[in-house]
A and B are shown apart, each in its own frame.
Chain A
């Protein structure tokens, strides 16, 4: 089974609207971390937000928030007030306690923001 599943190959949103990018994960570890990265066409992976498995509150970083539902093993990224510069690939990733510092990535979701 895939460890990280992103079911949306592409998403479209209009500028200033909110958008949710889906991510589900699979692990048997009790301690793990979930990350979202943004990859623009330049190729660099840009860290957006982190959620620990023991964190009781959903993580927020500016316009980004993570909707963490542990029982459902989902970690959806919510981008509020989309901007044209948000157009990029978005990757969900997980680090398991048993996995040293390695990140396991999903296949990504391409987000296009239109004026």
Chain B
């Protein structure tokens, strides 16, 4: 069975500082990994995904994520956070052996303070 863990319920960071949101996963086949962001009272917006190839994936709004197979992690990063990055972030995984089903982590709330 596939699973995702986001160990931090909330991350607080000052504007301009680097932002990291952690994600670890478990699959039996090859992992396909996704990050989504949810702004208040909105649906989920796709940020980026890792399928294969380079371990560093670049996505929307200046975000990037690093795939680490040995640590089974896919942490989301942004070099310089903005107040507008304050939102709820979800990591999700698909197991190559499990079809289209997407499993989500519990979410991490990011608060960027001015």
Q: Is B a genuine binding partner of A?
A: no
Residues of B within 8 A of A (CB): none
